[in-house]
Amino acid sequence: MSKRYPGFLPISREEMEEEGIEQFDFVLITGDAYVDHPSFGTAIISRLVEALGYTVGIIAQPQWKTTEDFVRFGRPKYAFLVNSGNIDSMVAHYTVARNRRNDDAYSPGKKAGLRPDRALIVYCNKIREVYKDVPIVIGGLEASLRRFAHYDYWQNEVRRSILEDTSANLLSYGMGERSMSEIVTRLASGEPIESLTDIPGTCYIAHELPEGALVCPSFEEVRKDKVAYAKATKIQYDEQDPHTGHILAQGHSKRWLIQNPPAAPLERDGLDKVYDLPYTRRYHPVYEDQGGVPAILEVENSIIQNRGCFGGCNFCAITFHQGRTVTSRSKESIVKEAIKITESPNFKGYIHDVGGPTANFRFASCGKKSMCKDRKCLAPEPCKALKVSHTEYLDLLRTLRKLPKVKKVFVRSGIRYDYLMLDKDDSFFRDLVQHHISGQLKVAPEHCSDRVLKHMGKPPFKYYKAFTDKYHALNKEYNKKQFLVPYLMSSHPGCTLKDAIELALYLKKINYHPEQVQDFYPTPGTVSTCMFYTGLDPFTMNPVYVPRTSKDKAYQRALLQYHMPQNRALVREALLKAGRPDLIRVLK
């Protein structure tokens, strides 16, 4: 009986043999279940390797307590490619309170525990137990954001580069199509992996300092000196432009972590080719009896139209991973994918999203080739050089909603309301309200205090106020009953108890009772995480207040949910501590 699953890449020895493959060129190991959809990095990289003419086998969520799964396909001809999954394995496993999560949307049946903590390290060490000299290339979000010495919230200490802990040969950071294409092609041409030291978008370990490298404070320095950590963060962020970035070097004992400048973002034609690869757009059928892979539900009928984000929020990892330069796919490519979605038996007439990191960005922020080091595009005030237009995005949405079988096209990924309000033509705003909201629109003001928003790298609150006024007016004009759901964050660096009270009073004023509030989560690689660890703004070196204790965080969270009976004691305690007993009767 055949073991093959048409359309999918092999995941078993039986499939490998049925396809007549004696030895895979590359073996890809991932911490997620195997989902062949372009929202999953494993799918993109494996299909890219296949398109380049090489064979690739997938080992998804290997059992890591033995080496049995790691030898399933035998030794690959050229290299192992390893990622931990779509998100950092520690974030996948733990809440901000460091409590173990009970489920995992990237695993079959949402079952928790199918990948280890610090999955990249565990997987690479298992490979090395069996294959001492096979090249290992690591990539994905966990590798990308941990490429330098980094603060690890779960251990509350600074860890060295993940390249050191994995003993991998090469790290591909950011969006990896360009770097991975060069890596696999050069390995297949016979080049030893030790010679691949000149590829943009990669990091490696060296014994000698490359000529012209810019040195940032070493692992040993940033581990013991928070000022050095903040300085290193600024240097690393300043050099993340593919046109102006220098080679960076960070000492690790007697060796150097070397980061080559970022790979240039894929232009429109390149993005189109990536999304035109032959994805099945489904999880592997082997998971069907286990309940499928829930993560597919959010993206199965959604379309990624862009990459990069010039929004520059300090708590977001996109700047350090995808970069600030926005590129987008062509209308033709997106329409082609939309038609493919409509042909799926699971399609019910609704395209759930047409977006990306920020849905309403379609092009770079301005005409400059490189991004400014000393300023953000939108905050604290929009740059005068900023290009603002929704014309192309609006035309795209209008085309999609006219397709046969399409009932509605929703926009559910992030809308930058400040950018929207800068557009003198409100045609997109009007279409958004009339046609593209599924009952409620989620936006991310995060806070109402301008001081806190500045620490977050977000614009002043006046832009959100203007947006809400216009939103409600348009809903009234079109006789729509659609709601706003603002994302709010408590305990971000710079947010004092006074600021939390200000936000609680604003929520009281607009009669909004959030059911969920996100505590700031210090994940690797963000500016806000640097603030959390060091108590310093790395760009100004000014001190930043940080709510650190569980009680401080509980106060701020309770104030944002002052309406909940179980929070009344905490709210009272917080108000008394802040010297505001006059508000006890107000916030109840």
* Residue 43 is assigned to a structural domain of this protein: yes
Whether 414 has a pLDDT exceeding 90, the answer reads no
* Residue 423 is assigned to a structural domain of this protein: yes
Query: Using CA atoms, how far apart are residues 90 and 113, in angstroms rounded to an integer?
Result: 11
Q: What is the pLDDT of residue 588?
A: 83
Stretch (H or E) spanning 550 = helix 550-560
Query: Using CA atoms, how far apart are residues 425 and 449, in angstroms rounded to an integer?
Result: 29
Could you say which of 197, 231, 259 is where a domain stops? Answer: 259
Q: What is the pLDDT of residue 3?
A: 60
* Residue 296 is assigned to a structural domain of this protein: no
Query: Using CA atoms, how far apart are residues 384 and 366, in angstroms rounded to an integer?
Result: 9
Whether 271 has a pLDDT exceeding 90, the answer reads yes
Phi, psi of 543, rounded to the nearest 5 degrees: -65, 145
Residue 374 shares a structural domain with residue 233: no
Are 303 and 353 spatial neighbours (Cβ–Cβ below 8 Å)? yes
In single-letter form, the type of residue at position 226 comes to K
Ramachandran region of residue 137, left (φ > 0), alpha (ψ -120 to 50) or beta? beta
Token duo for residue 280: 């099945």
Token duo for residue 473: 């007016």
Could you write out the DSSP letters of every residue in 296-308?
A: GGGTTTEEE-EE-
* Residue 447 is assigned to a structural domain of this protein: yes
* Residue 74 is assigned to a structural domain of this protein: yes
* Residue 319 is assigned to a structural domain of this protein: yes
Residue 329 shares a structural domain with residue 449: no
| Residue 2 pLDDT class (50, 70, 90 cuts) | very low
Q: What is the pLDDT of residue 154?
A: 97
Query: Using CA atoms, how far apart are residues 209 and 564, in angstroms rounded to an integer?
Result: 57
Rg (CA), the chain: 24
Residue 464 shares a structural domain with residue 433: no
Are 26 and 76 spatial neighbours (Cβ–Cβ below 8 Å)? yes
Query: Using CA atoms, how far apart are residues 420 and 446, in angstroms rounded to an integer?
Result: 17
Q: Cα dist. 113→32, 109, 126, 310, 517 in Å?
A: 11, 12, 18, 36, 26
Could you write out the DSSP letters of every residue in 191-241?
A: --GGG----TTEEEEESSPPTTPEEE--HHHHHH-HHHHHHHHHHHHHT--
Query: Domain of 97?
Result: 13-259
Residue 453 shares a structural domain with residue 539: yes
Residue 486 shares a structural domain with residue 428: no
| Axis crossing angle, helix 226-238 with helix 527-534, rounded to the nearest 10 | 170
Residue 567 shares a structural domain with residue 446: yes
Strand partners, 259: 203, 248
Could you say which of 236, 259, 282 is where a domain stops? Answer: 259
Are 501 and 509 spatial neighbours (Cβ–Cβ below 8 Å)? no
Which tens digits make up the pLDDT trace of 421-464?
999 999 999 999 999 999 999 999 999 999 999 999 999 999 99
Nearby residues of 215 by Cβ (< 8 Å), 6 or more positions away: 209, 248, 249, 250, 251
Query: Using CA atoms, how far apart are residues 425 and 83, in angstroms rounded to an integer?
Result: 43
Q: 560: how many CB neighbours lie within 10 A of its CB?
A: 25
Average pLDDT of the residues in 45-51: 98
Average pLDDT of the residues in 345-367: 95
Q: What is the pLDDT of residue 107?
A: 98
Tell me, what DSSP letter sits at residue 537? -
Are 219 and 186 spatial neighbours (Cβ–Cβ below 8 Å)? no
Residue 76 shares a structural domain with residue 164: yes
* Residue 351 is assigned to a structural domain of this protein: yes
* Residue 274 is assigned to a structural domain of this protein: no
This prediction's pTM? 0.96
Query: Using CA atoms, how far apart are residues 80 and 275, in angstroms rounded to an integer?
Result: 24
CATH code, domain carrying 378: 3.30.750.210
Average pLDDT of the residues in 353-378: 93
Whether 517 has a pLDDT exceeding 90, the answer reads no
Whether 367 has a pLDDT exceeding 70, the answer reads yes
Are 553 and 547 spatial neighbours (Cβ–Cβ below 8 Å)? yes
HSE value, Cβ hemisphere, 13 Å, CA-based, for 276: 14
Residue 415 shares a structural domain with residue 456: no
Q: What is the pLDDT of residue 1?
A: 34
Residue (of 41, 116, 438) closest to 277 by Cα position: 41
Residue 481 shares a structural domain with residue 515: yes
CATH code, domain carrying 555: 3.30.750.200
Average pLDDT of the residues in 398-412: 97
CA end-to-end distance (rounded Å), the chain: 67
Whether the upstream peptide bond of residue 380 has omega within 30° of 0, thus cis, is yes
Residue (of 114, 108, 118, 155) closest to 138 by Cα position: 118
Residue 412 shares a structural domain with residue 447: no
Residue 365 shares a structural domain with residue 468: no
Question: Percentage of residues in the chain with pLDDT exceeding 90?
Answer: 96
**Angle at alpha carbon of residue 382, lines to 469 and 421, rounded to 5°:** 25
Domain count, the chain: 3
Q: What is the pLDDT of residue 528?
A: 98
Residue (of 435, 423, 414, 465) closest to 473 by Cα position: 465
Question: Percentage of residues in the chain with pLDDT exceeding 70?
Answer: 99
Query: Using CA atoms, how far apart are residues 60 and 53, in angstroms rounded to an integer?
Result: 22
Could you say which of 259, 284, 316 is where a domain stops? Answer: 259
CATH code, domain carrying 145: 3.40.50.280
Q: Which residue has the tokens 């394995």?
A: 89
Average pLDDT of the residues in 67-91: 97
Residue 419 shares a structural domain with residue 468: no
Query: Using CA atoms, how far apart are residues 416 and 358, in angstroms rounded to an integer?
Result: 7
